[in-house]
Amino acid sequence: MIKVSNLRKSFEGVEVLRGVDLEIPTGKTTAIIGKSGAGKTVLFKHLVGLMRPDSGSIVVDGADIAALKGRALNNVKRKFGMVFQGGALFDSLTVFENVALPLKELMRLSGGETASKVNAMLREVGLPGMGDKYPDEISGGMKKRVALARALVMSPEYLFFDEPTTGLDPIVETAIHALMKRCKSLSPATYVLVSHDIREVLEMSDLVAMLHEGAVIECSPPGEIVKSSNPAVRQFLSGSAEGPIQMY
């Protein structure tokens, strides 16, 4: 499990995270919601060990990744698969090379083992035979699926998704959701899903945490959060312009 305690982070004097407390239980899907600019991606980057907090802790299976460095941090990060907002593929590498990257860097597999794993994963995400293409030559939805393949190829214990379907058409979105569910049923992992797509969040998650004014103001199952009495949660879920959440 991941336990975030009193996490704080400022940029140029502006405090984006103002004491985030959050428990991410093992084996479940926890969604993080909140308006654009609320700090979801900043929180995501702390969870995966890419950003350092000003204060507070992020304890993953007993180890505080905010206090780890070098090899000790890498040993925890080995358990993680990540799909970044925007995909973050390497443009100078082919689809095959992008998916193969974590296998090469972390597992030191032979060429043959790598190729069979990567090709199996590309089939799994519906991109068989696309390994020789470059990211520039494929669509946005395909890029997301390559990013998903790269995250899944290591069979990680923790999978982090930052807006996995934003900007995709509804059919591709449904296909990605089905893929995420299938992967979860094949190898149970702990999923963290950052999204502002309410429909996606309610469908995919076991727990929904709402980030507002730098803190998690509510964390409950989808069936409960939709009945929340918190005015900010209610406004966000209904998409209303009226309420405590300012548009800008």
Q: How far apart are CA 248 and CA 246, in angstroms?
A: 6
Cβ proximity to ligand ATP: between 124 and 162 the closer is: 162
The entry of Mg ion, ligand ATP, none that residue 102 binds, CB within 5 to 8 Å by partner kind: none
Tokens of 8: 């704080």
- Segment contacting ligand ATP by CB under 6 A, of 19-27, 38-46, 56-64, 174-182: 38-46
Here's the x/- map for Mg ion, 51-90, by CB under 5 A: it reads as ----------------------------------x-----
Q: How far apart are CA 161 and CA 153, in angstroms?
A: 15
Q: For the purposes of burial, counting CB atoms within 10 Å of the CB of 18, is it exposed (0-12), middle (13-18) or buried (19 or more)?
A: middle
Helices within the chain (DSSP H only): 40-47, 70-77, 95-102, 111-124, 140-152, 170-186, 198-204, 222-225, 231-238
Here's the x/- map for ligand ATP, 141-180, by CB under 6 A: it reads as ----------------------------------------
In the complex, minimum distance from the CB of residue 246 to Mg ion, in angstroms, rounded to a whole number: 18
In the complex, minimum distance from the CB of residue 85 to Mg ion, in angstroms, rounded to a whole number: 5
* Residue 195 binds ligand ATP, judged by CB under 6 A: no
Nearest to 124 by CA among 73, 182, 47: 182
* Residue 56 binds ligand ATP, judged by CB under 6 A: no
Cβ proximity to ligand ATP: between 5 and 85 the closer is: 85
User: How far, in whole angstroms, is CA 139 from its chain's centroid?
Assistant: 21
In the complex, minimum distance from the CB of residue 64 to ligand ATP, in angstroms, rounded to a whole number: 22
Contact 25, 190 (CB under 8 A): yes
Question: In degrees, to the nearest 5, what angle opens at C-alpha 76 toward C-alphas 70 and 77?
Answer: 80
Tokens of 133: 């293409």
In the chain, the amino acid numbered 227 is K
Cβ proximity to Mg ion: between 121 and 209 the closer is: 209
* Residue 37 binds ligand ATP, judged by CB under 6 A: yes
Write out the residues near Mg ion by the rule CB under 5 A: 40-41, 85
Write out the residues near ligand ATP by the rule CB under 6 A: 11, 16, 34, 36-42, 85, 196
